[in-house]
Amino acid sequence: MNIVHILPKFDTGGAEKFCVDICNTLADDPKNSVTLLVLGTIDEDEILAKQVQSNVNLIALNKRGKSIKIIFDLIKMLKKLNPDITHTHLRAQAYSALPIIITKVANVHTIHNLAQKEIGPKIRSLYRFLYRNFNFTPVAISKEVLISMQKEYGNNFHQMIDNGAKALTKTELFDSVKQYVDSLRDTPNTKVFVTVGRLTEQKNYLMLIELFEELIDEGEDVKLIIIGSKTNDKEYAQKCIESVKSEDKIQLIGEKSNIGDYVLNCDTFCLSSIYEGMPISILEAMSAGKPTISTPVGGVVDIITDGVNGYLSEDIDKKSYKDTIKRYIKNPDFDSLKIQEIFNQNYSIEKTAKEYKKLYEKTII
């Protein structure tokens, strides 16, 4: 099968990571020809671009700004590639809609967030038109996203495929990361938390930093590592950086290509988001056997069984989340093998790729 995935640009978000992982997994099947088409440019130092396997055809159209030229470039490229199916992510469907219709190719679109949060109302109106009048199929990544998808686009759309992730593995930097994490431990009982995500308001890092500062002032033996890049919202990112007072205990270490080394060496994963779809970061933490302390947002409530593979706060406010962190500090013991088993049975990228392949075959007919 000739498959073309279309992504607006490379970034360090979960949707982009998912796109790379599923392209790599689909390309491992010799019966598939897989192209990852990026509408924007690809920087030489782009971490995700380096993770694209050599058996995936990676193409950049070098779109800059809002240019109508990208429409014609896409038409030309799709005619050249002649795919059986296109699979769009994020805003790529808005740019690709007309080229996909003109070239008469079926389309699958993954909704990576709550539908009302994914894109603005005008583009949602476009998507609603596409889903109802052409061979465009929206796919939710969790039960909560499915509910939002049906609310926005209609109850007759019911396709849901759980997000999947590639299991985290060690790199050659594992030992040096272990040394770094161990250096943060003041005592054998120190709990080192890690979170991964861009410095955005969605991730609610200002609240997370503030409550960890309070826990430290209260004498709790905790450390926090935040892995993530700055975004276009530089003002919020700067606020996060400036809000850290206990720099030896709360560390913002920027974007990393070896996330697995950090998650494997820390005690637990935490997610304090205001809203989510189905976070790849939690699935990756599960693959490492780590429990997750999370707010009850989006598909997280479908992933986390309280007390089994993590703890869920009752709400997204600081008091509720802080109480949940404290609950973990008092009861930190989880069955790592059980957590990995849940991941392997339900959320591996291999399982997800098989389900999408079935959907492709169904959609083409």
Per-residue pLDDT tens digits for 74-126: 999 999 999 999 999 999 999 999 999 999 999 999 999 999 988 899 999 99
95: three-class secondary structure by DSSP: helix
Domains 2-164+348-364 and 174-346 share a fold: yes
d(CA 241, CA 197): 14
Angular region, 296: left φ>0, alpha ψ -120 to 50, beta rest: beta
Residue type present at position 67 = S
b/e per residue 258-276 (b: at least 16 CB within 10 A): bbbbbbbbbbbbbbbbebb
Residue type present at position 275 = Y
> Average pLDDT for residues 199-208, to the nearest whole number?
96
| CB-based contact 193:266 (threshold 8 Å) | yes
| Res. 226 pLDDT band, cuts 50 70 90 | very high
Q: How far apart are the first and last CA of the chain?
A: 13
d(CA 350, CA 18): 12
- The structural domains of the chain, with segments of one domain joined by +, span 2-164+348-364, 174-346
Residue type present at position 45 = D
Domain 2-164+348-364 CATH superfamily: Glycogen Phosphorylase B; (3.40.50.2000)
> Average pLDDT for residues 127-131, to the nearest whole number?
96
Per-residue pLDDT tens digits for 5-60: 999 998 878 899 999 999 999 999 999 999 999 999 998 788 899 999 999 999 99
Angular region, 71: left φ>0, alpha ψ -120 to 50, beta rest: alpha
| Res. 68 pLDDT band, cuts 50 70 90 | confident
Q: Closest Cα partner for 289 from 333, 331, 328?
A: 333
316: three-class secondary structure by DSSP: coil
In the prediction, which pLDDT does 65 show?
66
Question: Could you give the C-alpha distances from 143 to 5, 47, 299, in angstroms and in order?
Answer: 23, 30, 6
Beta pairing class for 33-38 and 56-60 = parallel
| Cross-strand partners of 4 | 35, 86
Q: Closest Cα partner for 115 from 90, 96, 137, 132?
A: 90
| Res. 308 pLDDT band, cuts 50 70 90 | very high
In the prediction, which pLDDT does 213 show?
98
> Average pLDDT for residues 143-167, to the nearest whole number?
95
Question: Could you give the C-alpha distances from 139 to 26, 108, 338, in angstroms and in order?
Answer: 18, 7, 29
Higher pLDDT residue, 42 or 308?
308
Computed over every residue of the chain, the mean pLDDT equals: 95
Supply the pTM of this predicted model. Answer: 0.92
| CATH code for the structural domain at 174-346 | 3.40.50.2000
